[in-house]
Each structure stands twice: as structure tokens, then as C-alpha cells.
Chains A and B, each alone.
Chain A
Amino acid sequence: MTWDTIANIMIGGVLTGLVYALMALGLSVIFGVIKVVNFAHGEMMALAMYAAFVIFSTYGLDPLLATPIIAGGLFLIGYIMQRALVAPFVTRPEHEQFILLLAVAILLVNGLLLIFGPDAQSVMVEYGFDSFEVGPLILDKVKVYAAAASIAVALSLLLFFKYTRTGKAIRACSDNLRGAQVVGLNIKNLYALTFGLGAACVGAAGCLLSMLVDITPMLAPELTLLAFIIVIIGGLGSLSGALLGGVLIGASEALAGLLITPSMKSLFSFGLLILVLAIRPQGLLGKRSS
């Protein structure tokens, strides 16, 4: 095995990791503001992947171009879900929130199973086998595009939170809920917007990931776990932590596939999670809660 091969595989892992990071970012945004853990995250991602698949196979639309449509659709779903389902649970005990979203997850994954069946589907774009050659490195075109799109979406979300009035208002809710209520912010609406934005992130990520992996309903719980692992490693509620965690997990999965067997690659992620929880439970970039 040459260094070139290793570098290629690692870079491929990092590029996939950036898509994971976008998915985890959605989870982190929702938790950071609403303090509700979206246990149906991977299931929403699978929903987006199937949406990308359906749009691609019926209209031939490239998932890259379908990303805004699917992200928009998931935004709506997230908005409505928060308003109709999650809102009354915000003040309820943690385990009840968890069980509620678990129920949503069960409904989503089995709904997908009913409609699409257990067999794997795939989205094969025209440039699926093309690659960029940079010196000795060979980069898959789809992975580069997906990673670039992920960065673009993540960046625009960060800018939204930093500069727009609504973004600032959402951050205010997260920093000091009582203060935000006192100055008259519409918390209900802002929470729903936040859940929508988190869902849009995972929608975009799912759409992009559909180009990289085969789609099955059984992928959903794995993705939920993966998203959790990433945000816990990076630090729950920390946006830059989610990005770092995604890249780390992507790279470590690729490395595990290379060093051991591919079927054991998630062992690496779980091992990493257990290690982080044992040594630094607040995550790599998380702040210790007081």
C-alpha cells in the first residue's frame, strides 16, 4: 500500500465527512437552541435521500441542483413538526422528548420501508465515475461536489446566525431564553424556524449523500447514531464542533476501512465516542455546562 493510496482514501473520507458534518450541524442547531435532541435525525436524512432518489429517477434532476428544493421541503416538515408535535414537549422531562422523537423515527423509517422496500437504491449521476487529478491524488468528482456544497450550506447558515436579525434573535433564545421573552421575541415562531433550519441542513446533507452511498431504510438509524456520535465528539451545541467531528469521523471511518475490514468501520466511531465520553464528556470543542 503506497502513501498515495492512503492519502486518496483519507481525502475521500474527509470529503464524505464534510457531508456528515452538515447533517450533524442540523442536530446541533436544534439542540443548541430548543434543547431538544432530535432522535429522528437520521430518519429525516433518509427521507431526504429518498426524495433525491425519486426526483432523480423521475425528472433526471441532479441531486446537486435538487438540494435547495429538498432542503426547502425538509424545512417545512421541520417547522410543522416543531409547531404541532415537539412544542408541547419543550418543557417536559428529557426522556419524554426522547421517546416522542423515537416514535417519529419509527414511523419515518417504517413508512419508507413500506413505500420503497428493503432493497438498496442508488443515484447514479453522469459524472459518477469521473475524478479530478491533483498531482498524485485522484479525487472523486461527486465527493468533491458534495463536500463543496456542504461547506456552502454550512457557511450560509453560520452567516445567517451571525448577521441577520432573525439569526440574532435565535441566538438570543439560545443564550438567554427568559431575556429573549422579556424583550418580546416570538419564541414559538423562532423555535419552529430553528427546527426547520436544522431539518433543512439534514435535508441538504441527505440529498448530497444520496450521490455517495446506496440508499436503504436501514441506513436511517445508523445515520442517527452517526450524527449523535459526531456532535458528542465535537461538543453538543457547538457548531464548529459539529464540523470538526464530521471530518474526524469521516477520516476515521475511511482509515478503519483501510486498516481493518470495512464492516468494522463503525466500531471505530463507537470506540471514539466511548473514548470522548470517558475523557472529555463535553466534547472536543464543547464548553462544560455549569
Chain B
Amino acid sequence: MERIFGGVPKRALGLLGLMIASLIIAPAIVNAYVLSVILITLYFAYVGQAWNLMMGYAGQLSLGHTLYVGLGAYTSAALFVHFGISPLIGLFVGMAIAVAAGALIGSMAFRFGIGGVYFALLTIAFAEFTRILFEHFDWVGAMGGFFLPVENRDSSDFLNLRGGPVMFYYVILFLCFAALGVNQWLLRSRLGYYWMAIREDQEAAQAVGINTFRYKMIAVMISAAMTALGGVFIAFYYNNLFPADAFGMHRSIELILAPIIGGMGTLFGPILGAFILTPLGEGLTILMESMGVKAAGVKQLFYGVILLVIIRFVPGGVWPLISKKLGIDKRMKGKSE
């Protein structure tokens, strides 16, 4: 506990408590639509944190992160549909497969000293490769998609992750803040300091005796496992899976927007980014609909503009600016600039 809360300014803890409290009572206040928006925001905050662990902390840019989402989603869904295995068990299998995939990519890349751009491209290549494989994988529906049985949504069956939106809401709320706790703990552990050393200067890290291969592998594997868990959630929430959607590159991009906008390498960046971006995107969709404009791509265009502005003018993201204003940046910031 000391590792997680030690040294955090009171003001920050107060804000965090307020935020969690309001999110916990949210289902009793807001309507079903708003709840679904918060739910998906929390999902992006969760997977954004998982990605941030690898890019923000350990400095390894993955642009094919949806690979792990897809693997977690398909594995747990297939085990459930074909064998009736509860997703609470299936998620471990899904995470294991994602970790294996991450280990394969990592070992290929890091062993041969593939870094930076090449690594990013390798992650894309693996995700696309898997997408095409799944498009021809009949056991999980191939191109036609894979569907989970939709039963009544009134009763909640947590053991099989079947139930209404409120149950899913609390599941992702828990995951999101559990991830926050795990990240905070990791950052303050020896591992976290090794990661940041590798991020800042890999050669220097190696020179002082850090086994960079090993710690980069650990980063990829933890990130893959966390992301796969998000995949299990999204599979059972949406009840349908398509290879192009599960493994498509646009998904990978969607996944990294929140942490980039909120602030890579910061603890709160991904959460803040998700809470900025998703409601804005949803608002834009509503606005377009009310004006009777039906054009595909407007939301993405808007995301593109935001991404461009952020990376051009505030490449560190929004969180560092805010935390400075609030005076809670002393030990929250990940970057040592």
C-alpha cells in the first residue's frame, strides 16, 4: 500500500477519491446512453494504460496493440461458445496466448536489435498477419464474424460475464482503477526505474548493467496481458467479433489516441485522454446526427486534427499541464525532463 499511495499529495488523493466516488454512483444518476459512453471511455482508459506501460514507461512503440485485444477477445469467446468455459477462466487462457504473442514479437525484435520504427512496423505486421489468419479461421466464424449468445440482460451472471450494462460498467470501472494501481506500483518498483532508464537512454541503461532485453520483454508481456483482459471485456460486452474490427489497424490507432493526448509516460494521462476524447467524439456524432449529416469519417477526421495539434504543440500531452496547475506534478510525472 505504501508503494501505491506513499508520497501522493493529499490534494491528488482527494481528487482521485472524488472521481472514483462519482463514477461509482454514476449508474444511479445518468441514463443508459450516458452510461454507455462512460463505459466505453473507461475501456479506452484501461487499454490506454496497458499501452502506456509499454510505450510511455519502457519506450517501445507498439502500433499493433489491438492484436492482444483480439487474441484475448477471440480466445475467451471461443472457449465460452464452444466449450461453455466461463470467461473468468478463459481470460487466463486469452492472456496467456497474448503474452506468448507478445513474447514472440518481442524476442524477434529485441534479440536482433530492431528498435524504433522497425519495431512499430513489426507490431503492425503481426496484427495484420493475425487479422488475415482469422479471416480464414472457420472455427471462429472467419469473415462472417463470431457471435456470443445474447441472453436476457436483466439478471446478472457475473461468473459467465452475462448481464446488463450496469454489471459491465462496474467490471470496467474496477479494471480501470486496478490498472492504475498496478501501474503506480510498477512505476515505483525497481522494474519501473529500469524501464524509464531504458526509455531515456538504452545504451546508458545497458552500460550500467541493466539487462535491457529482459526488461523490455517483461514490459511487452505485462502490457499484452493487460490489453488481452480488455479484449475479454469487449468481447462479452459487444457479443460479436469480426477479424477486421478486432485486429484492424484503425483499432490500434484508436487505442493509442487517449494516452498520447493525455500524456505518454504519465500515470493519469491515458485516463484523462480517454475522458477528453471519447465524450468529444460522441458529442460530435450526436451533433452531426441532429444536423442530419451522415458522413463516415468525420469523427476520425476530428481525431486526426486533435492528434496533429497535440503532437505539434504539446507532445507531452495534456496531463503534465494540468498537474502543474494543480500542483500535484511533483511525483506523478513519469518524464524526467
Contact = CB atoms under 8 A, between A and B. Distances in A.
B107 to A, nearest CB: 10
Given A107-B304, A110-B300, A232-B121, A281 B55 contact: no
B315 A281 contact: no
Given A103-B307, A106-B307, A274-B108, A95 B129 contact: no
Contacts of A15: none
Interface stretch (A128-136, A185-193, A261-269): A261-269
A175 to B, nearest CB: 20
Contacts of B295: 114
B125 A114 contact: no
A278 B112 contact: yes
Nearest to A217: B297
A229 B109 CA distance: 15
Contacts, number: 112
Contacts of A106: 253, 300-301, 303-304, 307
Given A99-B260, A273-B125, A107 B305 contact: yes
B308 A104 contact: yes
Interface string B91-122: 00000000000000000110011101110111
A87 to B, nearest CB: 11
B72 to A, nearest CB: 21
Contacts of B301: 106-107, 110-111, 114
A278 B126 CA distance: 13
Interface string B44-82: 000000000001000001010000000000000000000
Given A107-B304, A232-B121, A274 B311 contact: no
Contact of A229 (B61, B125, B305, B307): B125
B124 interface: yes
A24 B19 CA distance: 49
Interface residues of A, number: 41
Contact of B129 (A100, A221, A267): A267
Interface of B: 55, 61, 63, 108-109, 112-114, 116-118, 120-122, 124-126, 128-129, 132-133, 135-136, 249-250, 253, 260, 295-298, 300-301, 303-305, 307-308, 311-312, 315
Interface in A7-64: 37
A103 B311 contact: yes
A274 B118 CA distance: 11
B129 A270 contact: yes
Contacts of B308: 100, 103-104, 107
Contact of B118 (A92, A103, A221, A277): A277
A228 interface: yes
B269 to A, nearest CB: 14
A23 to B, nearest CB: 16
Given A98-B120, A107-B301, A107-B304, 12 more contacts: A95-B120, A102-B307, A103-B304, A106-B300, A106-B307, A225-B249, A266-B128, A267-B133, A270-B125, A274-B129, A277-B118, A281-B112
